[in-house]
Amino acid sequence: MHNNIKNVKRCTKCILSANFPRIKFDEKGVCNFCNNELLHSTEQEDITSATLEVQKLFDDKRGKSEYDAIVCYSGGKDSTYTLKLAVEKYKLNILSFTLDNGFISPVAFKNIEKVVTALGVDHITYRPSYEFMKGLYRVSSLENIYNPKTLTRISSNCNSCISIINITSLKIALEKRIPFILAGFTLGQIPSNTIYYQNNYEFFKESRKPILDKFKSEIGPEVSRYMEISEDLLKSSESFPHNINLLCMEDITENEILEKIKPLGWIKPGDVDGCSTNCRINSFNNYVHTLKFGYSPYELELSHLIRKNLLSREEALEKLFDQPEDQINYAKSELKLDENQILKNKVV
Look up residue 83 and give its amino acid. Answer: L
β-strand partners of 262? none
Q: Under the criterion CB under 8 A, does residue 299 sit at the interface with other proteins?
A: no
Tell me the C-alpha distance between 102 and 109, whole Å: 11
Q: Which of 24, 127, 197, 346 binds other proteins (CB under 8 A)?
A: 197
Task: Report if residue 45 touches other proteins, rule: CB under 8 A.
Answer: yes
Contacts of 103 (CB under 8 A, 6+ apart): 133, 279, 280, 281, 331
For residues 189 and 323, which CB has a smaller minimum distance to other proteins in the complex? 189
145: burial class by Cβ within 10 Å (0-12, 13-18, 19+)? buried
Binding pattern to other proteins, positions 237-276, x when CB under 8 A? ---x------------------------------------
- Nearer residue to other proteins within complex by CB, 40 or 262: 40
Among 66, 88, 122, 206, binds other proteins (CB under 8 A): 206
Task: Note the residue count of the chain.
Answer: 348
Closest-CA residue to 161 (of 244, 102, 231, 106) = 102
25 near other proteins, rule: CB under 8 A: no
What does the alpha-carbon distance between residue 331 and residue 103 come to, in Å, rounded to a whole number? 9
Interaction between residue 122 and other proteins (CB under 8 A): no
Q: What is the DSSP string of 297-324?
A: TTHHHHHHHHHTTSS-HHHHHHHHH---
CA distance 237 to 242: 14
Of 31, 83, 183, 190, which lies in the binding site for other proteins, with binding defined by CB under 8 A?
Answer: 190
d(CA 274, CA 258): 14
Cβ of residue 300: shortest distance to other proteins, in angstroms? Answer: 10
Work out how close the CB of 72 gets to other proteins at its nearest, in angstroms, rounded to a whole number.
15
**How far is 318 from 45, CA to CA, in rounded Å?**
31
Asked if 173 interacts with other proteins (CB under 8 A), we say no
Q: Taking contact as CB under 8 A, which single stretch among the options 1-9, 34-42, 229-237, 289-297 is the one that binds other proteins?
A: 34-42
Q: Considering the rule CB under 8 A, would residue 42 count as an interface residue with other proteins?
A: yes
Contact with other proteins (CB under 8 A) among 19, 65, 125, 194: 194
Contact between 193 and other proteins per CB under 8 A = yes
Q: What's the rounded Cα separation, in Å, for the pair 35 and 321?
A: 25
**Binding flag, residue 236, other proteins (CB under 8 A):** no
**Separation between Cα atoms, residue 59 and residue 256, nearest integer Å:** 27
Cβ neighbours of residue 82 under 8 Å, at least 6 residues apart? 71, 73, 182, 183, 184, 245, 246, 247
The least CB distance from residue 297 to other proteins, in Å, is: 14
Q: Which is nearer to other proteins, 39 or 258 (CB)?
A: 39
Position among 13, 21, 218, 294 found at the interface with other proteins (CB under 8 A): 21
- Closest contact distance (angstroms) between CB of 20 and other proteins is 9
Contact residue for other proteins among 2, 13, 208, 216 (CB under 8 A): 208
* Residue among 279, 290, 243 at smallest CA distance from 104: 279
The Cα 61–Cα 117 span in angstroms is 25
Near other proteins by CB under 8 A, which window of 10-18, 193-201, 229-237, 333-341? 193-201
Based on the number of CB atoms within 10 Å of its own CB, is 326 exposed (0-12), middle (13-18) or buried (19 or more)? exposed
Among 48, 207, 230, 236, binds other proteins (CB under 8 A): 207
Which of 81, 97, 137, 146 binds other proteins (CB under 8 A)? It is: 146
Question: Contacting other proteins (CB under 8 A), which of 6, 40, 56, 346?
Answer: 40
Residues in contact with other proteins by the rule CB under 8 A:
21-22, 38-40, 42, 45-46, 49, 146-150, 152, 190-191, 193-194, 197-198, 200, 202-204, 206-208, 240
